[in-house]
A and B are shown apart, each in its own frame.
Chain A
Amino acid sequence: MTETNGAPDGSGQEPSRRDFIYIAAGGMAALGGGLVAWPFIDQMSPAADTLALGSTRVDISAVQVGSEITVMHRGAPLFVRRRTAEAITAARSVELSELPDPEARNENLPDGTPGTDENRVLRDEYLIVKGNCTHLGCVPLGLDENTGDYEGWYCPCHGSHYDTSARIRRGPAPENLPVPDYIFENDTTVKIGISGEEAAASGWAVS
């Protein structure tokens, strides 16, 4: 009757077939539990309609040289600044070695692209970046209030200074303000949230 069972106290016994059944059943129960739990965890991820709010069209015809606008894209602010020649020159005179974050952080370009000003704009005059500080997400102040020590943006929360290419120069923020996917539909309209490749694939005019 008992020859196939392990000893009740299990001391010094070889693993029995019953031990195997325990482990196999327990393992399956854990796997099943994990599979059941997944939908309840994954439901918190961005929903399809949230993801569908992917692109925003921005009219930039009213933006004068030396001014900027802030627009909403995917529920968060986005800066569109039309830079002066001096601002562009200032951004381009910076050596990569001076940058705390030497990467371009440009969604239109591969990761690891050097953070030169050329790699952060499509057209030299228009700098378009996401408007949440890479430290803790505050909205940095711009031309209207305080551009910080590098004439770009200044985050009031913890004192991060960004330059005229929206690259972090001093303060706790770890990364440059990211450049979103965007294309110029024409000289006065920018479409945010769509890459040049996607645009070409779907027949958008890319200039």
Chain B
Amino acid sequence: MSGPSTYNPKPGLMTWLDDRLPIIRLGYDSFVDYPTPRNLNYWWAFGGILTVFLMIQIITGITLAMHYIPHEDMAFNSIQRIVRDVPNGWLLQSMHANGASFFFIAVYIHMFRGLYYGSYKAPREILWILGVVIYLLMMATGFMGYVLPWGQMSYWGAMVITNLVGAIPFVGEAIREWLWGGFTVGQATLNRFFSLHYLLPFIIAAVVGLHIWALHVPGNGNPVGISVKTKKDTLPFHPYYTVKDGFAILLYLMIFCFFVFFMPNALGHADNFIEANALSTPSHIVPEWYYLPFYAILRAITFDIGPIDAKLGGVLAMFGAIAILFVLPWLDTSKVRSMRFRPLTRWFFIFFVVGALGLGYCGANNPDDIVFGGIKFLWLAQFLTFYYFAYFLLILPILGIVEKPKPRPASIEESVLGTSKA
């Protein structure tokens, strides 16, 4: 997609096709002869892994939808029927449920990769923003998918999240009723969540197309963060990166298969094996693990902020935690992309990752319980929430100005092969 095409179709059918629909040329230029920095490490393999998991989710999802019944009296049992009676249904269900988790593991690694190596910086701002859009769509899809089995966690997770909308001043309750299609989470809610859960992955696929398009305009970033200058800095995508990505994909699929076959419910919640009951709330509602950091941020705001009450403040903080990613390219003031050359910021980044995982830990626990030594989970969550926002709003803007970066290599080629002898 960038630079002149090097595709030479064979005379005959291939030339005939190329003159009419140059689709092979597009694939060739994008994934075969595409010039790729020669120093990409395995953190760059997660884009390919994510593509594979989007396809896994769509294929298993379409086949599961052939058996699933989006009805409040039948949804729960239809999942059990899929697992027990439908030929290979146990495999499809396990792949789909665990696939969601592995999709999110991969996307988090992919995002941390981007944060560490400055993948969001010019000229890749749109690429980054499209990635955040995909992530938001994934969260919406994952949330609605989790409601479909209509277990206790499904139902009460849906209740809690849709009630967040009610915190919006003036119009919140009307919007909530519109989302529910009734006076509470019920049949109408389940039915529309199924419809949207089926739709959104295709929208994700479309935005992924834009994401790759936006990637192929400036080309890949790379671990040293300096731009490609000469042809010697790059390799054709095939065979080096097809094999390297393929190897990473296979390793990742092996771990995935271990969960699918040997511990299919390890990442789920026991309460979701109880059918939804509108009269009884589980004593401890938790979302799927991949939302836990944001759930912790939601619950960390227990105080009013001026005219904003605690409930609305929590909702704003939770959505703000994602929204801030949209403006990240303009918050980080450093011209240096890779944190390899930012000795101070690097440590703040490492603590950011630890803090994000810590927020997930807080989200899984009762806020009033004790972490250690008399410190409540609530206090830890509040501290880590503060750090989360400070990282974007204080640390990155200030350090980009005051930090003295380490010297960078003259070229990608030099960073891989040593000083150029040319």
Contacts and interface: CB of A to CB of B under 8 A. Distances in A.
Given A135-B163, A136-B160, A136-B163, A46 B311 contact: no
Contacts of A137: 159-160, 162-163, 184
A47 interface: yes
The listed residue with most B CB atoms (<10 A of its CB), out of A72, A131, A137, is A137
B183 A76 contact: yes
25 contacts: A45-B181, A46-B183, A47-B181, A50-B183, A50-B188, A72-B278, A72-B279, A75-B183, A75-B184, A131-B279, A135-B163, A136-B164, A137-B160, A137-B162, A137-B163, A138-B159, A139-B278, A139-B279, A139-B280, A139-B281, A156-B283, A158-B299, A172-B302, A174-B310, A174-B311
Interface residues of A, number: 24
B233 interface: no
B185 to A, nearest CB: 8
B188 A132 contact: no
A50 B183 CA distance: 8
Interface string A166-195: 000000101000000000000000000000
A135 B311 contact: yes
B257 to A, nearest CB: 36
A139 B163 CA distance: 13
B403 interface: no
The listed residue with most A CB atoms (<10 A of its CB), out of B162, B281, B302, is B281
A117 B196 CA distance: 44
Question: What class of interface size applies to chain B in its complex with A?
Answer: 20 to 34
Contacts of A156: 281, 283-284
Nearest to A145: B283
B343 interface: no
B192 A44 contact: yes
A70 interface: yes
Contact of A74 (B184, B284, B310): B184
A136 B159 contact: yes
A10 interface: no
B35 to A, nearest CB: 38
Interface string B174-194: 000111111110101000100
Interface in B225-266: none
A44 B302 contact: no
Given A45-B177, A136-B160, A137-B163, A76 B184 contact: yes
Interface string B146-166: 000000000010011011100
Interface string A45-56: 111001000000
B73 interface: no
Contact of B179 (A44, A47, A72, A132): A44
A70 to B, nearest CB: 6
Given A136-B159, A157-B281, A45 B178 contact: yes
A188 B369 CA distance: 44
Contacts of A158: 299, 367
A156 B310 CA distance: 18
A70 B279 CA distance: 8
B309 A76 contact: no
Contacts of B177: 45-46
Given A135-B163, A158-B367, 17 more contacts: A46-B181, A50-B183, A75-B186, A76-B183, A131-B279, A132-B159, A132-B184, A135-B311, A136-B164, A138-B160, A139-B278, A139-B281, A156-B284, A157-B160, A158-B299, A159-B367, A174-B310
B133 interface: no
Given A157-B285, A172-B302, A174-B309, A74 B163 contact: no
Nearest to B280: A139
B163 A46 contact: no
B368 interface: yes
B281 A74 contact: no
Nearest to B283: A156
A76 B276 CA distance: 12
A6 interface: no
Nearest to B299: A158
Interface string A27-58: 00000000000000000111100100000000
B418 to A, nearest CB: 54
B160 A74 contact: no
Contacts of B302: 172
B181 A75 contact: no
Nearest to B164: A136
Contacts of A135: 163, 311
Interface string A117-143: 000000000000001100111110000
A72 B279 CA distance: 8
A97 to B, nearest CB: 17
B179 A46 contact: no
Nearest to A155: B281
The 10 closest A-B pairs by CB, nearest first: A76-B184, A74-B183, A138-B281, A137-B163, A137-B159, A136-B160, A136-B163, A139-B281, A75-B186, A50-B182
